[in-house]
Structure 1
Amino acid sequence: MATQALEGIALSSPKTPGTPSSQKRHISPSAETSASKRILLLALRGSTPSSPQIINVSAFSQTYIPKGLFPAGTAKIEDEQDTVGVSPLQPRHIILPFDLRKDPEAWHLDTNSKLLISLFPGAGVGFDGWCLIYWLNVLPPKPWPKTIAGVPCYFTVDKNRGSPFPPPRPAHWSNPSIGQEVDGRNLSDWDQVFQLIRKYFDEVQIPITEVQYWDEFVRIVLRNRNTDTTKLPKSVANVRCHYLYEDEMGRPEVPQARRLVEPEPANPDESEYNILRPGVRLASDFDPSQTGAYLKTSAGILVRDREGNTFMTCAAHGFPRKWGSAVYHPSPSTGQSIGELVMEIAHTDIALVKLNKEKEFVNETFESNLRGALRLQRLLTAKRYSILALDSPDTGFIEGTLAISAKMRVPVDDPLEPEQEWICTTWVYTGQGMSKDLPDGICGSAIWDEDGTVVGFFRYAPKTGVMTDWCAGIAAKELIERGFTIVQ
């Protein structure tokens, strides 16, 4: 499809009527208000309805449009232009006539690559199967798009810079392959692949701290730099192996909550709400050793156990045992105790709060500047290219564009427990430069997809290392396997 046959249409999601329980934040954090509301759709010239300002997105039947961008199925036309260039629209997502997440081979069509280049004149562009990389002479003004043609994008003026994702580091071609009788590629449940990896590394006595599953390859994190690399398998279950070292992962020594005495993110929402919901501010009791200090985190969701008891989830490390079990909203100085922390789910950093009888909690997100309220429906595993989101008091509504499943080792000090425990983790790519907008106070926030499926709970976001601009969350699978469901 030639670029001259296209026109650019800037769309936004129109306001939709709220539900009886819907609620906007009293204060919108800067990370949310600074995000672009516009979606740039490149469509055949003349295919756009000429008169209505509000259109049905199904009119663009030849284009895949994620429903999370337009949850009501309608779009508001903000602007139109005869060219396909991005500036000055600064869209949050750019939708093209082809979608690389659905059809990666579309990259190889000459007309498609020319269209991608034309978005940023003078650019060079590459695609590694996961992300579009733009090499530019000058970076475009922010905010930058989150996705182009359905996949994440990255902008750089460094001609030697490749993908923003961790570097490929395969083992030597002469190294062993294990589990060749198993086809471990593109699995929704890759536990068999993980067990093969775990067993092998235990046998050769090489300590590992994490295994990430990237569909057609795995990334295995080695604890020590002095590992005997001749023992590293080049493939497991016909899945290629790449390697990272623990000291480049940028993990905090322990998960962090934000102290009152630390600098505030821009314009946080410390408001008190009569009806609790995902993303309201939670706080611990005061630190007995420091006058006026306490820890801030974010509310998760309301879940039900097998016996029918209901609990609000939160980040366990935000409520040190020596400080007491009371949970406050929004703070111990200006708010009230809303419940008591009654249980921690071992090794997951997820704690359960029994709310006071008079407190109401709804599993419905805040309405935001970017989309309407969403009822959270279920707990499931994230899909790779889902449009994911979280909403916290420090960030408001922010999006992620890529999810990777992983198993992360948790050290265990109790001599009565196994030496190693592994927890299910979801890594979410939040976009270039987003690490600065992910402060510690958002720990415990639910992460959900466009269908209202909760896929995990924010734990930390590396500020340095190979996983910068990603956030790590405890996967919802940890709750599912223990019999918890989301309260409807």
Structure 2
Amino acid sequence: MASQTATTVTSRHITLPFNLRADPLALNDPKNRELLYKLFPGTTGLAMDGTFLYIIQAEAPPKPWPKSIAGLPSYFAPQIGPQHTPVLFGWHLGRGSGAIARSLNGRDMADWEPLFIIVKNHFKVMGVSVTEIMYWGNYLVVILEHRRTADISKLPWKAGNIAVTYFYEDEVGRPSTPQSRCEAGPRPGNQVDLKSLTPAKRRRTRDFVFLGSSDRDSIEGSFMGTSFQRVIADEGSSEQQWVFAIWLYMGQDSADALPSRIYGNAIFTSTGYVLGFCQYAPTEGPMKDWCVGIATNEFIDRGFTNF
């Protein structure tokens, strides 16, 4: 039986006798909290939102920082607040703006595409241009293309009985050049002993995965969410389509250390199965320290299973 004070540090993961991902209520145990406070001198508070564990410190400890603590990605913050979180949570509207897809239970859907279709079509009927719809298990983020859009008071505040929040396209820090579904294929030389493509859709989120950074090296991140993006259908085409994408959290301040060339690099599991190919990793804005890739479903649906 593991000691109640046993702490194991492996590959920047701190393992404790309890796992906050499996048992979030373990944070309420005074013995567990005491153990967490002792990990980093100067800690003044602890918090979690089900996705991240927040270590409250006036000044973050020296790097390197752990990728996870007790099963959750960790984040150092001077205080608790929306400006001190890596969570992608946009601005939201009041109840008076209405709700859609009331018949669906949108929380923790294994396949949320039916909800996406309803939301996408709703905005199309409204005449509001949308570039991406993100799904985070208990809320959606809708990216609006234009600031001067239709009356925002008419945008839904809920869809499928979960919250809907919003960003404008110019807030999210994407590259200025539109990406096509074909351009996000694998980059030769980035193999890292990889196996076949495996569907990302329906896959459990919050697992640790890897982003290839060179011919033989990789960077660890967390598979956190998925989205549907509006992209150019093919190179040289004006036609636009929606593609399935995956979002990884690469770790606090990771954007400063990512290699300059990661476009097209494979995103894969610890066993070498490929989940997608990197599009970009924003270096500023609310998506800083995140990486997005086109999911393998887009390639599998076109008959590709191997490199």
> TM-score normalized by structure 2?
0.87
1:112–1:226: structure 2 CA closer, same or farther, 3 Å change rule? farther
Aligned AA (2:20): L
Partner of 2:155: 232
Partner of 1:6: 5
CA distance in 2, matches of 1:226, 1:211: 19
2:199 pairs with 1:380: yes
Partner of 2:70: 149
Contact 2:51 2:72 in 1 (8 A): yes
CA distance in 2, matches of 1:348, 1:172: 39
Q: 2:20 aligns with which of 96, 100, 105?
A: 100
Q: Secondary structure at the match of 1:347?
A: coil
Contact 1:147 1:401 in 2 (8 A): no
Aligned AA (1:135): I
Partner of 2:107: 185
Partner of 1:437: 257
CA distance in 1, matches of 2:73, 2:237: 44
Contact 1:223 1:245 in 2 (8 A): yes
Aligned AA (1:347): R
CA distance in 2, matches of 1:442, 1:352: 10
CA distance in 2, matches of 1:409, 1:253: 14
Contact 1:377 1:454 in 2 (8 A): yes
Aligned AA (2:301): E
CA distance in 1, matches of 2:297, 2:120: 19
Contact 1:391 1:398 in 2 (8 A): yes
CA distance in 2, matches of 1:413, 1:6: 56
CA apart distance, 1:177: 0.8
Partner of 1:216: 138
CA apart distance, 1:134: 1.4
CA apart distance, 1:203: 0.8
Q: How does 1:401-440 map to 2 (within 5 A)?
A: 401-411=222-232, 418=239, 420-440=240-260
User: Rg bigger for which structure?
Assistant: 1
The superposition leaves residues 6-38 of structure 1 with CA deviations (integer Å, 9 ceiling, x where unpaired) of 13344xxxxxxxxxxxxxxxxxxxxxxxxxxxx
CA distance in 1, matches of 2:286, 2:216: 23
2:41 pairs with 1:121: yes
Q: Secondary structure at the match of 1:486?
A: coil
The superposition leaves residues 130-175 of structure 1 with CA deviations (integer Å, 9 ceiling, x where unpaired) of 1111121332111000111111111133565432222353221222
The superposition leaves residues 442-467 of structure 1 with CA deviations (integer Å, 9 ceiling, x where unpaired) of 21111101232211101111111000
Q: Percent identity?
A: 36
Contact 1:151 1:401 in 2 (8 A): no
2:203 pairs with 1:203: no
CA apart distance, 1:409: 1.1
Q: How does 1:3-402 map to 2 (within 5 A)?
A: 5-10=4-9, 39=10, 92-123=12-43, 124-157=45-78, 161-227=83-149, 228-254=151-177, 347-351=181-185, 365=192, 375-381=194-200, 382-393=203-214, 396-402=217-223
CA distance in 2, matches of 1:237, 1:178: 7
Q: Secondary structure at the match of 2:261?
A: helix
The superposition leaves residues 263-318 of structure 1 with CA deviations (integer Å, 9 ceiling, x where unpaired) of xxxxxxxxxxxxxxxxxxxxxxxxxxxxxxxxxxxxxxxxxxxxxxxxxxxxxx8x
> TM-score normalized by structure 1?
0.57
CA distance in 2, matches of 1:9, 1:249: 37
Contact 1:380 1:453 in 2 (8 A): no
Q: 1:447 aligns with which of 267, 284, 289?
A: 267
CA distance in 2, matches of 1:130, 1:151: 7
1:190–1:443: structure 2 CA closer, same or farther, 3 Å change rule? same
Contact 2:138 2:162 in 1 (8 A): yes
Contact 1:170 1:242 in 2 (8 A): yes
Aligned AA (2:173): G
Contact 1:399 1:430 in 2 (8 A): yes
Aligned AA (1:138): E
CA apart distance, 1:118: 2.5
CA apart distance, 1:431: 0.3
CA distance in 2, matches of 1:412, 1:7: 52
**What is the number of residues matched between the two proteins?**
302
1:164–1:394: structure 2 CA closer, same or farther, 3 Å change rule? farther
The superposition leaves residues 245-264 of structure 1 with CA deviations (integer Å, 9 ceiling, x where unpaired) of 11111001127xxxxxxxxx
2:303 pairs with 1:469: no
Contact 1:388 1:447 in 2 (8 A): yes
CA apart distance, 1:364: 6.0
1:388–1:414: structure 2 CA closer, same or farther, 3 Å change rule? closer
Contact 1:457 1:476 in 2 (8 A): yes
Contact 1:385 1:401 in 2 (8 A): yes
Unmatched 5+ residue regions in structure 2?
Answer: none
